Chain A
Amino acid sequence: MSRKPYIREMSKTNWFFSQPRYTRYMAREVTCIFILAYTILLIFALKNLADGPEAYAGFLEALNSPLGILFNLAALVGAVYHSTSWFNVTPQAMPIQRGEEFVPGSIIVGAHYGGWALISLIVLFLGV
């Protein structure tokens, strides 16, 4: 044990404001709260769907409120930030090798964005 141990001067609770890079990391991680809250809303919708037409109508009525709009807007921001941050790191998370060369990251990221756009358009086309 050294007499003068090195202690990093870093807060345990707000270290992520010390560098923009850390803040972006934390913003990416915090999207899970939006995903979790929204998934709980989906389960709640499913419960009301199972309970019957009156219960489901009540759910839609409760959703149709300023709070419902605010919740969905917040979830939209969180979900879109999750998607972009998730797709942007796919070349690091899932490098693809073709022969000697690695497939350029821009192609992997671009393919994910393309798939995202396609899935979103199909769901909108069939669902609206």
Chain B
Amino acid sequence: MTVAKSNKPIVWGPFAAGGTITAFVTPVLVLLTLFAAMGFVPSLLTYENLHAFAANWLGKLVIFGIILLSLWHAAHRLRVTLHDFGIRADTWVAIAVYFIASLGTIATLFYLLRIS
């Protein structure tokens, strides 16, 4: 008997992990950038402090983890949501959303490595 192979576990892992991480941290991060948008820049978001945070390897790991998982969570959910909105070209949708997530992942890695 052959078991049908599915790529679902690969996209489901980051989806579930990303959904959990964004549920815990995204609202408070938005609150910080909202303060900055209102003209009150939180100390973490000043150039000196954020640069120091991102220059540290642990800080890099935290930033990369949050962005990576948020991206892949949103990309996978967007794929399903576009189907729910009546767009049936799943292959093209999948290529587009995972392409955006890949691009974002590579860009994040690239920018993080430039900060030292």
CB distance from B96 to the nearest CB of A (A): 12
Contact count band on A: 35 or more
CB distance from A67 to the nearest CB of B (A): 9
Given A32-B74, A60-B36, also A49-B115 (CB < 8 A): yes
A42 to B22, CA, bound (A): 13
The interface residues of chain A lying within 8 Å CB-to-CB of B80 are 29
The interface residues of chain A lying within 8 Å CB-to-CB of B74 are 32-33, 35-36, 39
Given A76-B30, A123-B32, also A68-B78 (CB < 8 A): no
A65 near B24: Cβ-Cβ < 8 Å = no
A53 to B80, CA, bound (A): 40
Given A32-B77, A64-B39, also A75-B30 (CB < 8 A): yes
The interface residues of chain B lying within 8 Å CB-to-CB of A87 are 23
A46 near B54: Cβ-Cβ < 8 Å = yes
Taking a contact as CB atoms closer than 8 A, the residue among B43, B54, B70 that contacts A35 in the complex is B70
The interface residues of chain A lying within 8 Å CB-to-CB of B37 are 63-65, 68-69, 71-72
Contact count band on B: 35 or more
A49 near B23: Cβ-Cβ < 8 Å = no
B20 near A86: Cβ-Cβ < 8 Å = yes
A13 to B34, CA, bound (A): 33
A123 near B25: Cβ-Cβ < 8 Å = yes
Given A49-B47, A50-B114, also A76-B63 (CB < 8 A): no
A64-B38, A112-B23 are known; give 20 further A-B pairs, CB within 8 A.
Answer: A11-B86, A29-B80, A32-B74, A39-B67, A40-B104, A43-B104, A43-B107, A46-B63, A47-B111, A60-B36, A71-B37, A72-B34, A75-B26, A87-B23, A120-B27, A120-B28, A123-B25, A126-B44, A128-B32, A128-B44
Interface residues of A (CB under 8 A from B): 11-13, 16, 26, 29-30, 32-33, 35-36, 38-43, 45-47, 49-50, 53, 56-57, 60, 63-65, 68-69, 71-73, 75-76, 79-80, 82-83, 86-87, 93, 112, 115-116, 119-120, 123-124, 126-128
